[in-house]
Every structure is written in C-alpha cells, then in structure tokens.
Structure 1
Amino acid sequence: MKNKYTIKAVKELLNQETVSDELLKELQLDSRVGVKKLLEQYYKKIEQKTALIEKFHTKEFLEKPYWNHNLLVAGVDEVGRGPLAGPVVTAAVILPPDNTLYEVDDSKKLSISKRAQLYKQICDQAIDISVAVGSPQLIDQENIYHATELTMAQSIKRLYAKPDHILVDAMTIPVDIPQTKLIKGDAKSLSIGAASIVAKVSRDRLMTMYSHLYPEFGFENNDGYGTKQHLQALDEFGRTKIHRLSFSPVKKINKLY
C-alpha cells in the first residue's frame, strides 16, 4: 500500500503548532523507520516542553498571590558587581499574569543567543521595564554594595507603573515599597529571572560599545572582568575612564589611558 505522506511531509506536519490525535494515531501505524524516528523526536520535544511549563509554573509561586489580587509585582536584579571596569546595571521588570516566558531563568545559565531571544520576548510581554546604570564613579564613592542598592532604587523609581510589591535578588532596595529579598532569586522567581536577563543583555551591549573606545581591553568578551587580556592591557595602557579606582588591582595603576 502506498504511503499517504512522504517523510518530508511528516516532518512538516509534526513541526506544526498543534498536531491532532488522529494524525498521531495514523503515523503510529506507519512502519517506515524515518517516520518512527520523527515520532520519537516529536514525543521527546513534547515531554521537554511539558517539563519546561511545569518548571515555569513553580517559578510563578512568588508572584501568584499578588497577581490573584490584581496587584503589580516587580522583579529586580543586578549585573556587574564584580568587574574591574564598567557600571553596575540593574533592571526592574513587571510581568503580566498571562505571560508565556517559559524559558526565563537565571541569565548566567543561558547562552548569549538564548538571552537575546528571551530579552525580546520579555520586552514584548512585560507591563513595564526599567534599566538603571550605576557609574564607576558612584561605585568608588559609595562602595559596590550600596551603589547597587541605589541603582536598584533608580530602576524602581523610573518605572511608569508603581509596583505594589518588589521581589529582589539578595539585596534591600531603599524605596518605600514592601519587598521580599531572595537568595538566588533569579533562579527562583520568574520576575527576577526576567530582570536578570534584561540587566545582563543591557550591560553586555554597553560593554561592547566601550570596547570600541578601548579596543585593547577586550571588553566585548570579558565584560570588564579581570581576565588575562584585561590585566595585561591595564599594565600596558593604564586605567580608562570606566575603571573602578577603588577595586584592586586598578587602584595600583597610576597611568591613564
């Protein structure tokens, strides 16, 4: 008996957004090895998506009590506390209850391309997003911890929508809004995870721009962290305007770029 579908057609059918039970039953009766492999891949993909959605729902448990009462909750996170150069960047993100950001996670666990993809999805779906930048001068003046708190406060104040509650990753933000402080919050909360992605993508883009001003330091690759290339350039060319003077070994460098 002649097969109803070519292998190519089966692949296209299984790649559709929705696949009917009738079609799956029909394909299960197909004895061709190629069809069996495609079905195996399809079921594996469905299994992975189900696991992803289940994980996604566990990450909403901190936001759910506020969403259930029509309250706005903002997730806040920072990127760039450790580098020798560049600012600390914070982001505040308010998500709607009906978002479909299934793959949002701690930005450090994601590839550059996945972060870029999720950044766009977050921007498309968020109720409000705000990014704030804490300069190296602020960091030197206040110390990195307090500078981060002040920059987080800026990202909250710049939101158009005032949140009823804040979820923040391991910090206390100096604003008069109730907040929940979480250790490893970017992996536990959907909103904080979204904020970590927005902050990371924003800071990486900023450091890539700085790399054009200071090409010897490789900022587009090291984001200002003390890599071998960065430390060698610091010794050879001196410190730049975006270096943190209070950080060792920058404080020992007198030469200016």
Structure 2
Amino acid sequence: MKNKYTIKDIKEILVNQTPSDEILQELSEDTRAGVKKLLVQYQQRQIKQQALIAKFHQKEFLEKPFWDHDLLVAGVDEVGRGPLAGPVVTAAVILPAQNTLYEVDDSKKLSAIKRSELYRQICEQAIDISVAIGSPQLIDTENIYHATELTMGDSINRLYVKPNHILVDAMTIPVAIPQTKLIKGDAKSLSIGAASIVAKVARDRLMTMYSHLYPEFGFERNDGYGTKEHLLALEQFGRTKIHRLSFSPVRKVNNLYSK
C-alpha cells in the first residue's frame, strides 16, 4: 500500500506543527527508517520541552503567591559590577502571571544569540521594564556596591507601574517597597532572570557603542573587564572618560586617552 505521507511531509508535521494522537499512532506503525528517525527526534524534543517547562514552573514559586492575589512583583538585577570601564546597568522587570518565558535563566548561562532572542520575548510579554545606568563617576563617588543599590532604586522608580513587592539578587534597594533578597536570584527567580537578561543585553550594546569611541580597548569583546587586551591598551593609550578611577588597575594609570 502506498504511504499516505512522504518523508518531507512527515518532517513538516513533526517539526512545524502539533501532530494529533491519531497521526502519531499512524506514524508509529510506519516501517520506513526515515520515519522512525524523525519520530525519535520528535520524542526527544518533547522530553526536552517538558523538562524545560517543569524547570520554568519551579522558577515561578517566588512570584506565584503574589500573582495568585493579583499583585505585581518586580525582579531586579545588575550587570557590570566588576569591569574597569563602563557603567553598572540595572533592570527591573514586571512579568504577568501568564507568560511563556520558558528559557529564561541567569544571563551568564546563555549565549549572546539566546540572550537577544529572550530579550525580545521579555519585551513582548512584560507588563513593565525599566533600565537604569550608574555612571563610572557615581561608582567612584559612592563605591561600586552602593552605586549599584542606588541604580537599582532608579530602575524601580522609573517603572510606569509601582510593584507591590521586589525580588532582588543579593542587594538591598533603597525604596519603600517590601523586597526579598536572594543569593543567586537570577537562577532561582523567573523575574530576576528576566531582569538579568535585559540588563546584560543593554550593557553589552552600550559597551559596543563605546568601542567605536575607543577602538583600542576591545570593549565590544571584553565589555570593560580587565582582560589582557584591555590592560595593555590602558597602559599604552591611557584611561578614558568611562574608566573607573577608583579601581586599582586604572588608579595606577596617570596618562589620559587623547585620541
């Protein structure tokens, strides 16, 4: 008997559609090796997706008590506390209870391509997003820890809607809103994970812009961290307007960037 579907048809069904139980049963009885291979691949994708969704629901447990009472909860995180150059960037993200951000995780665990993809998804689904920048001058004046707290406060204050509660990664934000401080919060909380991605993408794009002003430092590659390339450029060309003077390797450099 002639097969109902070609291998090409079956690939289209299993990859780009949601096959019915009837079709899956029919395909399971197909003896062609190519069909069997496609079915195995489909089943592996389903197992992976189910594990991803299970992990996603585990990450919602901090937000769920608020969502169950129609309350808004903001996740807040920072990027850029360690670099020698550039600002510290913070983000606040308020997510709806019904979202499909299954792959959101600590931004450091994700590739640049995956972060950009998730950044778009977060922007599409979030109730509100705010990004704030703490300048190198603020960092030098206040110290990096306090500058980060102040910048986190800015990101909360710039939200269009006021959250009922804040989830924050290991910091205390100077705002009069109840907050839960978490260690490694970007890996535990969906909202903090989303904020970490937004902050990381925003800062990376900013450092790429700075790389056009100061091409010798490779900011598009090192994001202002003290890599060998960066330290050699600092010694050869001097410190720029975006370097943090309070950080030891920069403090030792007397000459100013003059190009």
TM over 0.5: yes
C-alpha root-mean-square deviation of aligned residues, in Å?
Answer: 0.5
Distance apart, 1:37 and its partner CA: 0.4
AA at the equivalent of 2:180: T
Distance apart, 1:6 and its partner CA: 1.0
Q: SS at the partner of 1:202?
A: helix
Contiguous gaps of at least 5 residues in structure 1: none
Distance apart, 1:164 and its partner CA: 0.3
AA at the equivalent of 2:235: D
Give, in whole Å, the separation in 2 of the partners of 1:4 and 1:215: 60
Give, in whole Å, the separation in 1 of the partners of 2:193 and 2:159: 18
Question: Are 2:65 and 1:98 equivalent residues in the alignment?
Answer: no
Give, in whole Å, the separation in 2 of the partners of 1:14 and 1:249: 55
Aligned to 1:209: 209
Identity %: 80
AA at the equivalent of 2:225: Y
AA at the equivalent of 2:219: F
Give, in whole Å, the separation in 2 of the partners of 1:79 and 1:135: 13
Distance apart, 1:5 and its partner CA: 1.1
Aligned to 1:87: 87
Aligned to 1:27: 27
Distance apart, 1:240 and its partner CA: 0.3
Q: SS at the partner of 1:105?
A: coil
Give, in whole Å, the separation in 2 of the partners of 1:67 and 1:24: 37
Mean Cα deviation higher: 16-25 or 237-246: 16-25
AA at the equivalent of 1:64: K
Aligned to 1:37: 37
Map Cα deviations across residues 47-73 of structure 1 (whole Å, 9 max, x no partner): 000000000000000000000111000
Pairs within 5 Å for 1:58-69: 58-69=58-69
Question: Are 2:123 and 1:119 equivalent residues in the alignment?
Answer: no
Map Cα deviations across residues 107-152 of structure 1 (whole Å, 9 max, x no partner): 0000000000000000000000000000000000000000000000
AA at the equivalent of 1:122: I
Give, in whole Å, the separation in 2 of the partners of 1:19 and 1:54: 22
Q: SS at the partner of 1:203?
A: helix
Pairs within 5 Å for 1:1-257: 1-257=1-257
AA at the equivalent of 1:106: D
Distance apart, 1:222 and its partner CA: 0.2
Aligned length: 257
Q: SS at the partner of 1:92?
A: strand
Q: SS at the partner of 1:54?
A: helix
AA at the equivalent of 2:75: G
| Runs of 4 or more consecutive aligned structure 1 residues displaced over 6 Å after TM superposition | none
AA at the equivalent of 1:193: G
TM-score (norm 1): 0.99
AA at the equivalent of 1:171: M
Give, in whole Å, the separation in 1 of the partners of 2:19 and 2:31: 19
Distance apart, 1:17 and its partner CA: 3.6
TM-score (norm 2): 0.99
Contiguous gaps of at least 5 residues in structure 2: none
Q: SS at the partner of 2:248?
A: coil
Distance apart, 1:18 and its partner CA: 1.4
